[in-house]
């Protein structure tokens, strides 16, 4: 087993790693280090929680040299504001003993303050594509000195619709640069992006996409509806000693708010929620409270499934079965980090059964099925989406025209006649093969008597 001292890493970086308690690299770090150091374009595929951030930061910081230039030499693109904050923190930790200036930028905050910070100078700029592109357009950020471009979580970038900003940034960046891309999955969109804009990319893959981490125990419950899921969750979470730090994933912002409201009745002082509609301060406060242990339950959407470096998560609960099986892998990757044991629980209804089977197909294994505890009440209460749809027979927007009410009757012969435009129009149309209009030369003129 290799250790960091086997790499050609400078002493300042080794000292920072020692302070952080890191002695040995993860597989993706070990394989990526020499390739990134060589200057070649690279795309690394590794599961969430395997140390991808350090995999590109270590070689970048190892080659970093002091500069007084105000324009950045490294640009790191990430999909979310939370990930910007996290990457900046990681750079600061690793660059503790070196002169490294790093700046994080993202939307939802004052652009003027970010412009002022850029004017003071930075070596590494970390940001979301949209805000970086806005700063470039405003001429506050110049890209002429960029030597290394990092795109972290490439597939999420494309899923969130950042392709437009990415392409525009590619066109503005210097041609001579190193491209470093990392992702948890290699999707068709990622392949197309690489083939369209990059040549000679070296690929590094330490695990087949969809292979579950061996140290995560997975289980699944078949549940009839939303409120029975809530009852099951309340039953499980009452065991605070076992479920001491729980991340609960849902499919939408509306579900997140609804679930938070239901669970708050039982765990009001222990629960928090984040999703994209929450303000930046609210989201960061929720993450900090959860990470510090002030709250032990965090309800969130898939936007938080990537990049969150949260320690000691005991359980990841998939309240909703994700429609895309890859998202399941990203979710459960929040637990079982740093070779520690983790637990994942999946809840699914009959409508979600197909999605659950797709996850098992991706992993090439079945998830351990657990029966509902007898203490869990089967709720008859249904959400709006679960309630049966009633067909309104007299609805004018009905799709089936054969469904007619009892009062329906055919039009009488008199009312079935079509409006032919009046006698004048009919006569003119017959005579000239087209109706006269007010633009015609003789329209409205009376004929002269002889």
| pTM, 2 dp | 0.68
Please, how many CA atoms are within 13 Å of residue 393, restricted to the half-sphere of its CB? Answer: 7
DSSP conformational letter for 445: P
Q: Options 3.40.50.970, 3.40.50.620, 3.40.50.300, 3.20.20.110; which CATH number does 4-205 get?
A: 3.40.50.300
Give me the pLDDT at residue 432, please. 57
Which of 424, 426, 422, 419 is closest to 444 using CA atoms? 424
In sequence order, what are the residues at sequence separation of 6 or more whose Cβ sits closer than 8 angstroms to the Cβ of residue 88? 102, 103, 104, 126
CA distance 218 to 213: 10
- Residue 310 · residue 160 · CB < 8 Å: no
CA distance 235 to 231: 6
Which of 279, 225, 273 is closest to 252 using CA atoms? 273
Domain ranges of the chain: 4-205, 216-369
Give me the pLDDT at residue 382, please. 87
In sequence order, what are the residues at sequence separation of 6 or more whose Cβ sits closer than 8 angstroms to the Cβ of residue 403? 391, 393
Residue 170 parent element (H or E): helix 163-172
In sequence order, what are the residues at sequence separation of 6 or more whose Cβ sits closer than 8 angstroms to the Cβ of residue 241? none
R_g over Cα of the chain = 30
- Per-residue pLDDT tens over the stretch 337-364: 666 788 999 999 999 999 999 999 888 8
- Alpha-carbon distance values, 113 to 110, 118, 143, 180, 390 (Å): 6, 9, 19, 29, 54
Residues of the chain with pLDDT under 50: 401, 435-436, 440-441, 443, 447-450
Which of 259, 247, 240 is closest to 309 using CA atoms? 247
Which of 209, 235, 160 is closest to 329 using CA atoms? 209
- Residue 95 · residue 14 · CB < 8 Å: no
What integer best gives the mean pLDDT of the chain? 84
Same CATH fold assignment for domains 4-205 and 216-369: yes
Give me the pLDDT at residue 213, please. 66
Tokens of 97: 């003993």
φ and ψ at 44, to 5 degrees? -105, 130
Q: Which ranges in 268-421 belong to alpha helices (H)?
A: 280-292, 325-332, 353-363
- CATH number for the domain whose boundaries are 216-369: 3.40.50.300
**CA 91, 94, 96, 97 torsion-angle sign:** negative
- Residue 369 · residue 222 · CB < 8 Å: yes
Give me the pLDDT at residue 173, please. 93
Residue 78 parent element (H or E): none
Give me the pLDDT at residue 448, please. 47
Tokens of 224: 């009839």
Which of 151, 182, 148, 150 is closest to 28 using CA atoms? 182
């Amino acid at each position: 087993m290799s250790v960091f001292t086997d790499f050609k890493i400078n002493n300042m970086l080794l000292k920072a790693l020692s302070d952080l308690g890191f002695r040995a690299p993860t597989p993706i770090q070990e394989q990526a280090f020499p390739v990134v150091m060589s200057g070649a374009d690279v795309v690394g595929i590794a599961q969430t929680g395997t140390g991808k951030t350090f995999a590109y930061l270590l070689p970048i910081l190892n080659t970093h040299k002091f500069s007084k230039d105000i324009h950045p030499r490294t640009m790191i693109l990430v999909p979310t504001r939370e990930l910007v904050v996290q990457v900046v923190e990681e750079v600061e930790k690793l660059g503790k003993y070196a002169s490294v200036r790093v700046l994080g930028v993202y939307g939802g905050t004052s652009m003027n303050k970010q412009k002022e910070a850029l004017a003071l100078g930075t070596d590494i700029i970390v940001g979301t594509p949209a805000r970086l592109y806005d700063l470039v357009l405003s001429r506050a950020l110049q890209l002429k000195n960029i030597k290394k471009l990092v795109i972290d979580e490439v597939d999420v970038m494309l899923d969130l619709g950042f392709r437009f900003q990415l392409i525009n940034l590619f066109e503005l960046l210097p041609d001579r640069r190193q491209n470093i891309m990392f992702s948890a999955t290699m999707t068709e969109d990622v392949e197309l992006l690489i083939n369209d804009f990059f040549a000679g990319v070296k690929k590094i893959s330490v695990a087949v996409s969809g292979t579950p981490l061996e140290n995560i125990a997975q289980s699944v419950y078949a549940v009839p509806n939303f409120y029975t899921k809530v009852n099951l969750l309340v039953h499980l979470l009452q065991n605070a000693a076992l479920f001491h730090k729980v991340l609960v994933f849902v499919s939408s912002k509306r579900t997140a708010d609804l679930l938070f409201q239901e669970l708050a009745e039982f765990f009001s002082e222990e629960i928090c929620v984040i999703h994209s509609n929450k303000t930046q301060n609210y989201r960061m406060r929720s993450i900090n409270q959860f990470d510090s242990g002030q709250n032990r339950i965090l309800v969130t959407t898939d936007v938080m499934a990537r990049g969150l470096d949260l320690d000691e998560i005991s359980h990841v609960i998939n309240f909703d079965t994700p429609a895309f099986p890859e998202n399941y892998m990203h979710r459960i990757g929040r637990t079982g980090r740093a070779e520690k044991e983790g637990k994942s629980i999946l809840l699914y209804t009959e409508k979600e059964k197909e999605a659950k089977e797709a996850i098992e197909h991706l992993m090439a294994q079945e998830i351990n099925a657990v029966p509902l505890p007898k203490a869990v009440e089967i709720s008859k209460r249904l959400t709006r989406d679960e309630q049966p749809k009633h067909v309104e027979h007299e609805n004018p927007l009905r799709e089936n025209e054969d469904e007619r009410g009892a009062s329906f009757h055919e039009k009488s012969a008199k009312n079935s006649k079509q409006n032919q435009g009046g006698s004048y129009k009919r006569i003119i149309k017959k005579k000239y093969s087209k109706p006269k209009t007010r633009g015609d030369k003789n329209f409205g003129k009376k004929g002269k008597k002889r």
